[in-house]
Amino acid sequence: MTIMERGATAANPQVARLQVGDKELVLPIEPATEGQAAINIAPLLKDAGLVTLDYGYANTAPTRSAITYLDGDAGILRYRGYPIEQLAEDSTYLEVAYLLLNGDLPDAAAYEVWQREITLHTFIHENVRKRFLEGFHYDAHPMGMLVSAVAALSTFYLDAKDIFDTESRKKQIIRLIAKMPTLAAAAHRFSVGMPFVYPDNSLPFTSNFLSMMWKIAEPRFEADPVLARALDVLFILHADHEQNCSTTAMRVVGSSHADPYSATAAAAAALYGPRHGGANEAVIRMLTEIGSIENVEPFIASVKEGSGGRLQGFGHRVYKSYDPRAKIIKQTADEVFGVTGKNPLLDIALKLEEIALSDEYFTSRKLYPNVDFYSGLIYQAMGFPLEMFPVLFAIPRTTGWLAHWQEMLDQDSKITRPRQLYIGEAERTYRPIGER
Ligand code: ACO
């Protein structure tokens, strides 16, 4: 029923014609700078009384966005136009955070101010730690603690509700980016019974985080520079990924004009699930269960016949080729293993990848390693417990969530409120309980 006039470009805007019964709807096609143009279906309900059915929003662009571009078929990922490979090679996480939030790379003076602002906000209110974090059960999962602690921050910063005040908004963004590693490390320390370590603001961002994680009695914790840099690269790679599940959660909650701490907690909760930020933890559990190279083939066979579950760390809603982040991570893994020694699960992972990439089941479905396939191996080699993996994802993704939250508010967007295709009972009459 659709006669699409294809080929819309910025220079050549066109329309889609949709025939509904004897009525023809002319729907504008909105051009993209790169990637797919979009049919604007806004008139559909009003003009034809129809809604669109799109499970998992797989074909829906709920917004215009100028932050991140990715081409899943070509394996391209760019932040504000800059290829992820260049950023991972030459930039730092904090510079990338500035880029995502402000649209451009900072000059030297702006970068210095930005770094100082983040550094000055790394401390958390003592009551967040004493009254809140320490109130959890001894075996609380650190991601559950992080989600709750971030939500709790909104009760400490009442000015966060002024979401249209530019200064207040900026302050909450800085607070969130700066406090995330402190909360993350605090959650870990509590879960292993170690005392809280205060931030050391003489250290760069990732070294400071590693200090809060691992410091014991030494006056100053000196992170291995290779490991600190590797973590910074991982933070760059995880900083944003356009309209993924957790970012969508951020935008949905933010669209009701909730404060950014509440919206970030919702985004972090979305990230907690094994289909999203929990996948690298699932990869390690899967590799551990496989146990040895000889078991790889039978395991792949069980995945194919449906009894072995999914191959964790493989497949992606958007990437239908090798995830460009996975390529960079593979290289980073070699550098990390040079310091920590090789993760014994690496050989199983490499064998799994080799077999899957030459197997018709995976190639025909375009299932390739995603960012999570190798990141867990690095985190594990660096000493992070499995429970910390989604937390390590949440720290940098906070930047992406906030960039999208800010963009959404600047667009003066509508509250997110989709429609549905109702398939329940038609109207029926209530009968008192004795008559049923
Ligand atoms: N292992 C085996 N088969 C798979 C896998 C996998 N990892 N992923 C998809 N498939 C198969 C499905 O069974 C389906 O096969 P069928 O057509 O015969 O029914 C086909 O590929 C398409 O799968 P969908 O579920 O429709 O793909 P979708 O785009 O909805 O899912 C997802 C994407 C959730 C990432 C999926 O690939 C998956 O579960 N992967 C494993 C978990 C994972 O690694 N998640 C991390 C994603 S990256 C991130 O969030 C940072």
Domain boundaries, the chain: 3-61, 71-269+395-408, 279-381
Distance 55 CA to ligand 1 centre (A): 15
281 in Cβ contact with 159 (< 8 Å) = no
What is the reported pLDDT for 112?
Answer: 98
List, by residue number, the catalytic residues.
Answer: 276, 316, 372
What is the reported pLDDT for 155?
Answer: 95
CA distances from 73 to 22, 54, 228, 276, 331 (A): 37, 21, 32, 20, 22
The atom of ligand 1 lying closest to the CA of 370 is 48
- Rounded to two decimals, what is the model's pTM? 0.91
Topology alike, domains 3-61 and 279-381: no
What is the reported pLDDT for 281?
Answer: 86
Distance 215 CA to ligand 1 centre (A): 39
Query: CB count, 10 Å around CB of 3?
Result: 9
Distance 315 CA to ligand 1 centre (A): 5
> Which CATH number is associated with domain 71-269+395-408?
1.10.580.10
Best residue among 237, 365, 379 to mutate for probing ligand 1's pocket (most ligand atoms within 8 Å of CB) is 365
What is the reported pLDDT for 321?
Answer: 86
Pick the CATH number of 3-61 from 2.20.28.60, 3.30.70.20, 2.60.120.10, 1.10.3210.10: 2.20.28.60
Distance 380 CA to ligand 1 centre (A): 24
What is the reported pLDDT for 276?
Answer: 86
Please list every protein residue whose CB sits less than 6 Å from any atom of ligand 1: 275-276, 279, 303, 310-317, 365, 367, 370-372
Best residue among 245, 367, 389 to mutate for probing ligand 1's pocket (most ligand atoms within 8 Å of CB) is 367
Pick the CATH number of 279-381 from 3.40.50.720, 3.30.70.20, 3.30.450.40, 1.10.230.10: 1.10.230.10
Structure tokens at 5: 């006039």
Mean pLDDT by 10 residues, the chain (436 residues): 47 81 92 93 92 95 96 93 97 98 98 98 95 90 96 95 96 98 96 94 97 96 96 97 97 97 98 87 92 95 91 89 88 92 91 93 92 90 94 97 97 92 97 96
